[in-house]
Chain A
Amino acid sequence: MTSTLKNSDPTGAGDIGITVVDLYTSVEKIYPREVQGRYNRWRTASVWLLLGLYYLLPWLSIDGQPLVLFDLPARKFYVFGLIFWPQDFILLTGLLVLAALSLFFFTALAGRLWCGYACPQTVWTEVFIWLERLAEGPSGKRKRRDRGAWTLEKIWRKVFKHFLWLLFALWTGLTFVGFFTPITELTVNLWHWQAGGWETFWVLFYGFATWGNAGLLREQVCKYMCPYARFQSAMFDDDTLVISYDQARGEPRGSRSRKLAHAELADNKLGDCIDCTLCVQVCPTGIDIRQGLQYECIACAACIDVCDDVMQRMQYPTGLIRYTTQNAMAKQPGKIIRPRILLYAGLLLAILTAWIIGVSQRAPVMLDVMRDRNALFRELPDNQVENSFLLRIMNRTGQAQQFTVTASGIPGLEVHGMAQLSLEPGKIGSLPVTLRAPTQDIGLRNDISFTVQAQSEPGLNITEQSRFFGPRRSLR
């Protein structure tokens, strides 16, 4: 693909003093070793919880209303009993801002918790690795087989793995599209090869992306593609919880016989690290945590689990690699509450409060009153004055509604003609309304109000102010 950058090109451009060293370190495949331990249990639990929610939620409904459905074809979002319309866009924005702020907050507090336990990349990769292990066995075997010749066993194991991956990826794609279009119909349609072209396309697209990201790219997504990995350090300070190797305790590292273990330690010849390199072997991003904090580290804590196990077997205290802070490592006083944390928490709280108020204050009906721009008023022969308005009404309830418009504010004010409008849920309708009032009862401008009342629900109404104009009276 890319092997042209050598100093031997015929044009001689390579002789201008550029030394080029090993330009294409091809990405070496990483075979992270299996690990057991408490953090691994946490991650497994997190995978089950998050993926359980992901695969289940689109199927659930309460009272015939989907629990979570961002119904794009109908432009209507159901979220845990609330319904959002495109007009609630500001709330959606608020939600995204909240999500971003929580990420900042948790990163400042506890480092890359998100990466290790909750990022879809981590979570799906974990499942893909489980499936891979099912088909191809543990990492050591896998590595040896990959280096060896293509045998029948190697072929069927690989085929079986990709078959499992494919099934899982397709199911993932189906579920993804199921968040945006009713999933039961979608599944039935797909089953009968009758789903719409675009739906099918997105199922395949998302399935393919999952297969590629979680199956093939894995840690490369974190290292080379993830924007968060690049700016997370901006949220870090010396009191942020990070995964770190205790240099002071571990060095000088070195292997030792188990009998000598404690004697050599006592002689101060060796630190606690027995240089077994297990922490490197389990690392999904292929780094050595003993070289210090690195941006590649996704804080999965696999190295903690494996090193704790080693320490226990050596009968040393655990925690040579552990969750700690830079300050704690340096034996400096640290604090949890600090300006950065307070700032993030304060913003988070403020926006959350505003968001909750915003959601709870959403009026189920919206009303916009616009005056007719052509004429202020019209004088009628029977000593009446007429004003025209355009009402825009939005039905934000989940049911169709029949609305009736009334007006008040001037004695004798009446609505002329039809003043009713039926609206499907989520729809906005315009209704031209003409008001008439006796000339002797009105002044130059009069404050009036419109009320829109739903016929089926007495409590469902909204009132909006406007003005009614009249002629200048000759007698004054």
Chain B
Amino acid sequence: MNEQPQQPLSRPLAQRVAAILWPSFLCAGIATMVLFALIDPVDLHAISFPEWKLSRTAGYSIGFFMFWLVTAAASTGTWLLLRRSAVLNQAGSNH
């Protein structure tokens, strides 16, 4: 039986982006659910930026994207730390 091909050091860009965005998307979804089950975006709106005109749907959406930003940042951090030294030592590499 043929041998397993050697695993590449770094994954293609699309895979990396997907691996960062997708789990953070799921976590942001859960966090959004928990937050807005406990707090009505309308109430949140009243104590934060009452001068802006925001509907509930806008509140949910903005909340979700803020969570996603944070979770994606955490995922990106994890990816940065997990890169192998061989990749880092490669000058001019941007992975």
Chain A contact residues, CB within 8 Å of chain B: 1-2, 4-5, 9, 11, 13-14, 16, 18, 20-27, 72-73, 75, 86, 89, 92, 181, 196-199, 201-202, 217, 220-221, 224-227, 291
Contacts and interface: CB of A to CB of B under 8 A. Distances in A.
Contacts of A13: 89-91
Given A2-B95, A25-B8, A73 B90 contact: no
Contacts of A18: 86, 89-90
B78 interface: no
Closest 9 CB pairs of A and B: A89-B37, A13-B91, A11-B91, A225-B22, A198-B57, A224-B15, A23-B8, A225-B18, A18-B86
Interface string B1-28: 1000110111111110011001100100
Nearest to A217: B18
A4 B89 contact: no
A22 B10 CA distance: 10
A27 B55 CA distance: 43
Contact of A2 (B12, B33, B40): B12
Contacts of A11: 91-92
B56 interface: yes
Contacts of B9: 5, 20, 23
B85 to A, nearest CB: 9
Nearest to B27: A227
Contact of B57 (A1, A4, A73, A86): A73
Nearest to A199: B57
A196 B57 CA distance: 9
B55 A198 contact: yes
Contacts of A14: 90
Given A13-B89, A86-B37, A4 B18 contact: no
A21 B6 contact: yes
A424 to B, nearest CB: 14
Contact of A227 (B14, B26, B57, B58): B26
Given A14-B90, A16-B89, A181 B15 contact: no
